[in-house]
Amino acid sequence: MAANVNPPVVNLFNNIQIRAFAWMVVFTVIISNVAFGQSAHVNPWAATDVALLPPPASITQGVWLKGELHVHSRHSIESSNNSVAKIIAFCKAVGVDYVCITDHDNHVNGDVAHHTWADPEFKSDSVLLLYGAEWTTTRGHGNAFSARPYDHQKLYDVRDQRDIVIGAVKKQLGIHLSANHPSGKDHFGYSYDMVNSIEVWNSAIWANNANAIMIWDDMLSSGRKLTGRGGSDAHHGVPVNGEKPGKNTYQATANYVGTPTTWVFATSRTSQAVVDALTNGRVSVSANPYGPRVEFLADLDGDGKMDMMMGDNVKSTGKPVKFRVQLSGNTIPGATYTVKVVKNGDDFGTYTIDNKTAMVEFTDAPQVLNRAYYRVVVEGPQTPYPQVPGSMALSGNMVGLSNPIYFNFDPNF
Ligand SMILES: [Zn+2]
Ligand SMILES: [Zn+2]
């Protein structure tokens, strides 16, 4: 029988080296408190120099694609005369390159996969179809966008959970989440930390978007690199082949696919490239698919060549940067357009463009430290959109807007 089965006890506090180290730590703390005072405060979150940022992607190798990111088909119960085939055929007719049909998920208890996406009409040989739905919750609405089918049911199931739970599910699904019509009734009541974009232009009625723009500027100013996008939110189609008009049919010729149109600079003509461009912010929004596209560029190194565009984020050198606003496509002969530049949420300057040059340049030196962003809004006459003739009056003089060009935004934010 063993006399003692206990292992030898190592008493840490008898170890002379550890004791010496512990006393050293205590003395260091006391000495630093005496030297700097108890109240010395160090903000671990204070603005620091952003590390080297990757150079912007090519601004020429890619394709501009125009699309619709918020439209409801017959799978949303309050829609009328708006089959999936009708929406896709309309896209094709007006040259819309991509569309995301975003039916209300609550109308099918989250089972979008067996409704909108399983609809035999959900196919096209030319229009890129994104997979998505309108996440329709008590706390607000958001659109999910994806290049491929994903498990939307999971997003629906967590709609009443805390943001931390929802954010984890969103990340797991690998989707792009976008805040819809963020102010007013059905405002977006979730954290903007878990969304990639915000609907800054909902429907042809431009005047209703002032609060959305204000929220966007607030989020941008707080360091969130958040893409602004459009969406008609159309629910009603023009009745054809014996379809019966409804009480909302009047909307079909005033607000439909393309009012407004979201342009993306995609690396290729694929659904994934559309979603990526949307996430990266290489995006501008126009009142309709026939209107001019707003392009916002900058020349960083002063070599006279533009080397970055909206959505791109670079480290400021403190030297002056030349910015260029360009209208591409159908400008109206003889027309003058007004360009308003917004810097960090404030008016920076107003310029005019005529339809011949369709371009204006300005210069500013963003500061070396701290974030800065510039974005532009273009006003002027509407380019006619004969397929949705009532939309022009509703959009007023709002022609288009760009996403920001960013300086010193923390990519790890
Ligand atoms: Zn909604
Ligand atoms: Zn909607």
pLDDT range class, residue 17, cuts 50, 70, 90: low
1: pLDDT strictly greater than 50:
no
pTM of the model: 0.90
Q: What is the pLDDT of residue 2?
A: 42
Q: Report residue 98 as tokens.
A: 């991509």
Structure tokens belonging to residue 158: 């967590």
Residue 8 scores a pLDDT above 50: no
> Residue 133 CA: which ligand is closest?
2
Rounded to the nearest whole angstrom, what is the distance from the C-alpha of residue 387 to the centroid of ligand 1? 24
Q: What average pLDDT score do residues 365-379 get?
A: 95
Which of 38-47, 244-253, 305-314, 361-370 bottoms out in mean pLDDT, i.e. has the lowest?
38-47
**Residue reference for tokens 């896709």:** 88
N-to-C CA span, the chain:
65
For the stretch 190-204, pLDDT in tens is: 999 999 999 999 999
The full set of domain ranges for the chain reads 63-407
List, as one string, the DSSP characters of 13-63. Answer: GG-HHHHHHHHHHHHHHHHHHHHH-TT----TTS--PPPPPPPPPPSSSSE
174 CA to centre of own chain: 15
The bound ligand whose nearest atom lies closest to the alpha carbon of 103 is: 2
**CA 41–ligand 2 middle distance (angstroms):** 47
C-alpha 133 – ligand 2 centre gap (Å): 9
Cα(68) to ligand 2 centroid in Å equals 12
Cβ-based neighbour number of residue 410 at 10 Å: 14
Residues with CB under 5 A from ligand 2 (ion): 134, 233
Q: Which ligand is nearest to the CA of 71?
A: 2
Rounded to the nearest angstrom, the gap between the alpha carbon of residue 85 and the centroid of all alpha carbons in its chain is 27
- Whole-number Å distance, alpha carbon 309 to ligand 2 midpoint, is 30
Q: 70-110: per-residue pLDDT in tens?
A: 999 999 999 999 999 999 999 999 999 999 999 999 999 99
Residue 162, number of CB atoms within 10 A of its CB: 10
Å from CA of 242 to ligand 1 middle: 29
Helices (H), 174-223: 210-221
List CB contacts of 214: < 8 A, sequence separation 6 or more: 183
Q: Which residue in 246, 228, 229 sits closest to 237, CA to CA?
A: 246
CA–centroid distance, residue 142 to ligand 1 (Å): 7
From the CA of 188, the nearest ligand is 1
63-407 CATH choice from 3.20.140.10, 3.40.50.10540, 3.20.20.140, 3.40.50.720 = 3.20.20.140
Mean pLDDT to the nearest integer, 275-287: 98
Q: How far is the CA of 104 from the centre of ligand 2 (A)?
A: 7
Rounded CA gap, 378 and 390, in Å?
A: 21
Q: Give the distance (Å) from ligand 1 centre to CA of residue 180.
A: 6
Residue 3: predicted pLDDT: 44
What spacing in Å lies between the alpha carbon of 57 and ligand 2's midpoint?
Answer: 33
CB 192 within 8 A of CB 179: yes
Q: What per-residue confidence (pLDDT) applies to 49?
A: 78
Identify the burial level of 203 via C-beta atoms within 10 angstroms of its C-beta, where 0-12 means exposed, 13-18 middle and 19 or more buried: buried
